[in-house]
Structures are given as C-alpha cells and as structure tokens.
Structure 1
Amino acid sequence: MAGAEQFAAIPRISLQVFCETSDLAGIVADAAEDRRMDKAHVRVQMGGAPAAVEAYRTSPTPNVVVLETVGQKGEILGYLDQLAEVCDATTKVLVIGQVNDIVLYRELVARGVSDYLIAPIGVVDIIRAVASLYGAPGAKPVGRTIAVIGAKGGVGASTIAHNLAWAISREIGVDTCIADMDLPFGTGGLDFNQDPPQGIADAVFSPDRVDTAFIDRLLSRCSDHLSLLAAPATLDRVYDLGPEAFDPLLDILRSTTPAIVLDLPHSWCAWTKRALATADDILIVATPDLANLRNAKNLMDLLRASRPNDGPPRYMLNQTGIAKRPEIKPGDFAKALDAEPISVIPFEPQLFGTAANNGQMISEMEPGHKVSGQFVELALALTGRNDTRKARPGLLSPLAPFLEKLTQLRKKA
C-alpha cells in the first residue's frame, strides 16, 4: 500500500469554509480531522459567498477563506468584488466552483484568489490546496513577529506584551505564541499561571534539536488560540548568548504560528538587537519621564536607520497620571520622537496589581474596563486588522446609537 501523500506542513492557521452544498461541508469536516490538519482551526458554515460577505462586514477575516459557489462566472466575480471590500489584505482565498473556464481562472487570480478548484473534490484535494498556500516556492512565512521592549526597566513592558498577546488571540481570534525571552527573570509563567517543566531555554540551548515537533512539546497552552514559551526564570546558569541564538526557534515559529509576540528584556546585547532588527513590528514601552524619553528616542533613531525598508517602530506610554509625579506630556514625547504614541495607558495599580497576583490578564478580570479596550485597539493596530468592534457587545459607546442616527439624518439632508 502506498504511503500517504506528503504535503508542506500546515501551520496554526484559522480557516473558514462557506459551503453551498452539504456534500462539500462533509468533505471539509473529514479533512479537518486529518492528522495533517491538526494544527489548523477549521470552521464550516453554509451559505456560500453571500454568507461570507455578510459575516466579514462585522468580524475580522481568518488566515484562509474557502468559498464554494454553484453560480456562473458573473455571479462569482461579483461576490468576490464585494468580499474584497471587507477582507483583510493578508487573508488567502480559495474558490471551489463548477465552471471549468481558463478565462474565469485568470480573472480570479487577477482579483487575488490563491487557487480555484473545480468540483467535485475530495478530502485530499482540500488538504493539498491548503498546504500549497504555505509550501509553494517563495511562499512567505505565515507568522509575523511583534517585538515588545521597555525603554527602561520597570516600565511594564512584559505586562503590555502579555496582555497584547492575549488580545490578539482572544479578541481577533488569531493563533498567537508569546515568547518570554527574559531567560533569568521572565514573568510569563507567573502572569499566565503556568509552570511548564520545559520552555524557551530548551530550544535556545539545543539548536540542533529544534524542529516543529520539538517546539510543540515546549509550548504551554494558555487558551484555545494562545501558547506560551516560558522562560526558566532561574539563576543556575548565565545566559551569555550569541547574536543568532534565537534564530532557529524564531524560524520555526514564523513557519507555524500567525502571530508571535516577543517579550524582550531591557538589556542591550547582540541577540536583543538582532531580535529587534529582524522583527516585523516593534513596540517600545515607556513611562513619561526624561530617562524614558532619551532611551526611547535612541531606540527609535537606531531602528529607523537600521530598517529603512520597514515600517517605523511604534511606542506607547504606560503608567501615566501618577498623582504628584511630574510627567512629560504625550505631546512633548511626540515632538521629541517625531511620532505620536500608539497608546497611552493610565496608572491603575489596583487593576494591574490584582491581575498580576491572580495570574490573569486584564480582559479576564475586568473585560468591560477601559484599559481592556485599549489592549484591543493596540492589538488591532499592531496586526493591521480592521477595527470591527462596532459590532461587539460591551464595546459600544453610550452615545453610539445617537451618533449613528445623526449620521443617517445628515446623509438624508
């Protein structure tokens, strides 16, 4: 008996399928149970392309959308044009249709469709099509890294990183890994109430063993969409690491996980500099004093110069509004750094202190708190996702109905 067909590894992606026939729904359900799809989060819905267009008006799109259509050429293209208006640029689209037409195929590709499959198809066809999205020559890694670092020690950068990762995984629904890279003093295990026997140090000190299966064993599951690579937080060895010490680990994470948040320690060495230089996005956390301003400016200037073809690093202000403490205003920070802060989070010692002692995230403990909403905004900004919170209960402004009605009246006028 021949062995199972080999495919490129299917990473931790979210995949939503909109079917028009029950036959395809059953085939996709069987494909989701296949061992080669065990890392993917698969959701099957009926209604085809119209249901997809309606669904994504109020919610973010996943990594992959599969559309079944039984319509003709014009109908297929019409729905794709509507979907393009609400679909995130990073989402890949597969179309399953019944029209065997090379002109249609070319028009679909021109609209950004990754592949067009002609029905009927089987379980292996689905798996092969999804695998080809990430295994084709020159295919980009599925994952994006967000490096979070404090401009100074004690500014709460780890707390920001952990709550950011939680918001990306919980509010946006993207599979996320948080890598606690502060090996001697990391707080990831404490903040997520985890005590794994293995973690990130096992990968760093055994680079020859690093592969997908090995990293999977090191991950500690915090929720359905969030995993933690915990730091050992022990002092029984020194951590004098070379500049490329984390490269094998990060390469694997980029190939398997859509969002990776790097919780970097406030230290300046070869590997932290390299982690910042190679990250897709950078967030600098500062508090509103002079030392933070100086350090944040130094970091911003260095990273802008060393990454001319990337977007500029972003920064945020944390622990603002402490009573009787002289502070540098956000506007003055913005002038000095030539950039506005992406977020300004107030000093809330009771909220953050209780969450830390309980091993919880802010949104777990106080989901309706203003700060919880700020972490959602931060997650949306750093992942480049559409802001769909208007449709989410609990996040509407009390004035929203009035403002919406006022807008409608203005349009009629």
Structure 2
Amino acid sequence: MTDAAYSIDPEDDDEAPAQGTPQRVDPIRARPVPRINIQAFCEDQDTAAAIQHASEDRRLAKAHVNVRLGGVEAAVTFFRSTSTPNLIIIESFLKGDALLADLDRLAEVCDPGTKVVAVGHVNDVLLYRELIKRGVSEYVVAPISVAQIIECISDIYANPDSDPVGQTVAFIGAKGGAGSSTVCHNTAFAISADLKDESVIVDLDLPFGTAGLDFNQDPIQGIAEALASPERMDEVLLDRLLSRCSDHLSLFAAPGTLDRTHEIESESCETVLDTVRNNVPWVALDVPHIWTEWAQQVVMRADHVVLTAAPDLANLRNAKNIVDQLKAKRVNDRPPYLVLNQVGIPKRPEISIKDFAQALELDPVVVIDFDAPLFGTAANNGQMIEEVSENSKAADQFRTLAYTLTDRVESKRESSSFLGSFLSSLGLSKSA
C-alpha cells in the first residue's frame, strides 16, 4: 500500500518530438515486478486494453497477467471455486457505499495475502481513505494509462524505504567493429569522472571482451565466476568480483580466454545483473554483437539502449532491424540513443548522416569523427579518450552522451570549458 493516493499525470504529449530525435518520454519510474500472478476484472474495454498493454511491458515480464471483463460480480463468481492470485485488479462503476459493499463481497472469497487494486470512476478522497482502511492497496481513478498501471503495481511490490534501484544502459553495435565497446567504456568513464556517479561496466563478451585491456586491468575473477554461481550473488561477493578502475568506476571483467566455452543462461544473467543493479546507480552493459536469447533479453530489459553504428550499408541494415525490434518490444520506453561512430574515414564512401538518420527515423545523439591516432593511442595505453586528450572533440561527445543518458544539464561544464579555452588562448591558466 502506498502512503498517498495515486495521482494522474496530466503532462502527457504536450509537444510532439522532432522526427528522428530520441523522444523525451517521461521515464516510467518503476522497478521490475517479481514473479506474481495478477487477475484483472474490468468493466470498461479501455481499462482492460490498458492493463493488457501494461502486461506486455518489460517490467512485468515475470508476472503472469490475466484480464477479464465482468467487474466485481465476475471476480466473486470466479474465486468461489479457485484460489485468489497475488494481486487482483478490480474495476467498478459504482461509488460510495455501493462500491464498498461490492468489495466486501470480494473480500469474503479472497485468500489471506492477496492484494487488491480498485479502479473506480469517481475522484473521492473519503472513498479512497475508506478503501485503504479496508485493506485495498490502491485506488486509481479511470481512465488509466499503461504507465500508471505499471507504476502502481511496482509500488505495491517494492519497498518505498529502500534505496532506488540503479539504471542499466545496454550498449550494442549495429555491426561487429562499429565501436560499441569503446563507446560503452568511455561513456561509463564520463559518468563516473565528470558526474561523480558510481558506475560499473559489465563486459558480457566472455571470450573476447576488451574492457580489461581498455582500463589496463587484469583481474583474476569477474563476470564469468558470477554467472557460474548466480545463486551466490550478493553484495559481498559483488564487491569481491569487481575490479576498481577509479574512485567512481568499477569493472566486471570478462576472462578474455579461449580455454573453455561459455554458455550463458538467461536466468543466470538476469540474477547477476539484478544484483549489480541493486547496488550501483549506473550499470553499463557491454553487449557483444550476437543475438542469442540471453543477449536479446539483456537489451530488451535495459533501462536505456545505446546503438552504435558506422555510416555504411551493412550498419544501416542492421541498425534498422534493431531499432524496429526495440520499438516493437519496448513500446513504453524511449527509443534507442543512436551513436554514429567512425565518421569521415579518408577515401571511404559513406552514407550521409542525414540519410542514415532519415532511414532509421532517429537522429544521432552524438557523431564521433574518425581519429585513428587518438583512439589508437588510448587503446594501446589502456586509457580512456578523456585521459589522453580531455579537450578533444571525441571526449566532448562522450561527455554529451553521459549527460544525455543521466538527464543532467551540461551548461556548467560547457561554461568551464569555454573559460579554460579562452584563458589558454591568452597564454594564461585559470590559477594565474
């Protein structure tokens, strides 16, 4: 039960986003719902449709949801001969004492421990208080949106006093060699170094992962050990397996060896990532360029997706397929953040940025120019771009992506950078 009445957000779709840009959809602030059974009995077709659409959201992926019509009468009849689920969502057009009487009838057939969400058609604070006194977990006023349903269910099964769950960012390349791992590592570094937020890079490319090399780390243990025994994962084991890269950045490294094959189970991967997510504010998932069941699940269930592509035909085709999949399966989430990488390779014919964006109906968040000396030096030295050249255009692009992902304002940074550049041009330093 939440502490206050569930409120409806009137600020939906005030402005239509520009075509091709990542839509500024207000994120659904809800934790994934555990494996529970939910039965909904609706009076209105629109309410039933909203609950059905909510059941298809990634946050309810573990829950088993059934939606029926008939309201309280159908629910009472149904549960006279069967046990009640973890959660019942009940809709009624009645109000006042009539609604309370109907819910009392439902309570007579409910098993202990069953929670109830009531959907009504009257905004009545006194009625809400009376419902809460009678054990109803929440009262929601119709019409209801998909986001409201997801957040309402999540609020019931999440401890409001616990620290917020971290956010996961899945980095995936449209094609092998597009530079997704480089984008992942440098963006996570920017989040930790510039924003001072605790971050973890999870290298999921077990045989060929480069995160250890990029940070000049050679940890003895890492993600492979966690995936081998997911049932043992807790905060203590997580701290032992993580390799510290800086004050605010840790690495869940891949073994990077070929002495054995690595078969990743979807459930094991989910268990390990949930543990990381519950202990770290930002989790950067370096997803290899494969489309297995577990890899697809990681991408689809991430809070944010960053798609890195180079401006050629194969990247465009693959990027289009990935974007279409994400739009179909993540209908309540922001579209992926597109990063165009390796732009401007000498003598290579390229698809223009404009044509690439139009084909995907998605504008790139950042465009990273080809700079072989800079990126080659960073890779060979086990450093990030910002460490090699803090004022380079590429470093600024990674900082921009970090600020965009975290919904931060970069004005302070830009002002500082401008001042530093201005003083440098005069041969002065800020400390002079």
TM-score (norm 2): 0.59
Q: 1:378 aligns with which of 370, 387, 401?
A: 401
- In structure 2, the residue matched to 1:275 is 298
* CA distance in 2 between partners of 1:263 and 1:389 (Å): 29
Matched, 1:175 2:194: no
Deviations 1:184-239 (A, max 9, x none): 00001100000110000000011121111001100000000000000001112212
Which string of whole-angstrom CA distances, capped at 9 and with x for unpartnered residues, describes residues 357-384 of structure 1? 0000010111111111111101001111
User: What percentage of aligned pairs have identical amino acids?
Assistant: 53
Q: How far has the Cα of 1:277 moved from its partner?
A: 0.7
CA distance in 2, matches of 1:291, 1:146: 24
- Determine the C-alpha separation between the residues in 2 that align with 1:139 and 1:220: 26
Residue from 146, 151, 166 that aligns with 2:169: 146
CA-atom RMSD in angstroms: 1.8
Taking the aligned partners of 2:419 and 2:394, their CA distance within structure 1 comes to: 14
Partner residue in 2 for 1:354: 377
* 1:204 and 2:227 are equivalent in the alignment: yes
Show the counterpart of 2:329: 306
CA drift at 1:140: 7.1
Q: Does 2:155 align with 1:164?
A: no
1: CA distance, partners of 2:414 / 2:266: 45
Change (3 A) 1:363 1:395: farther
Spell out the pairing of 1:5-44 with structure 2 (5 A cutoff).
none
CA distance in 1, matches of 2:416, 2:222: 37
Matched, 1:262 2:253: no
**Partner deviation per Cα, 1:86-135 (whole Å, 9 max, x = no partner):** xxxxxxxxxxxxxxxxxxxxxxxxxxxxxxxxxxxxxxxxxxxxxxxxx8
Cα distance, 1:299–1:397 mapped onto 2, change above 3 Å = farther
What is the distance in 1 between the residues matched to 2:270 and 2:218?
A: 25
203, 206, 216: which is aligned to 2:239? 216
State the Cα distance separating 1:311 from its structure 2 match.
1.0
Provide the residue aligned with 1:100 in structure 2: none
Deviation at 1:254, TM superposition (A): 1.2
Secondary structure at the aligned position of 1:245 is classed as helix
State the shift of 1:396 in Å: 5.0
1:242 correspondence with 2:265: yes
Q: Corresponding residue for 1:335? A: 358
Match of 1:291 among 311, 314, 334: 314
Q: Which has the larger radius of gyration?
A: 2
Paired amino acid for 1:301: D
Distance change in 2, residues 1:396/1:343 (3 Å) = farther
Please state how far the C-alpha of 1:387 moved relative to its aligned partner.
Answer: 1.7
How much has 1:327 moved relative to structure 2? 0.2
Structure 1: runs of 5+ lacking an equivalent:
1-134, 401-413
1:326 aligned to 2:355?
no
**Equivalent position of 2:118 in the other structure:** none
Q: Secondary structure at the match of 2:365?
A: coil
Deviations 1:25-84 (A, max 9, x none): xxxxxxxxxxxxxxxxxxxxxxxxxxxxxxxxxxxxxxxxxxxxxxxxxxxxxxxxxxxx
**Residue type matched to 1:351 in 2?**
L
**Distance between the aligned counterparts of 1:244 and 1:356, measured in 2?**
33
Superposed, 1:95-114 pairs within 5 Å as none
- Give the Cα separation in 1 of the matches to 2:283 and 2:418: 26
Partners of 1:164 and 1:375 within 8 A in 2: yes
Report the count of equivalent residues.
266
Alignment gaps of 5+ in structure 2: 1-157, 424-432
Q: Quickly say closer, same or farther: Cα 1:251–1:138, change in 2 above 3 A.
A: farther
Structure 1 Cα separation of the partners of residues 289 and 230 of structure 2: 24
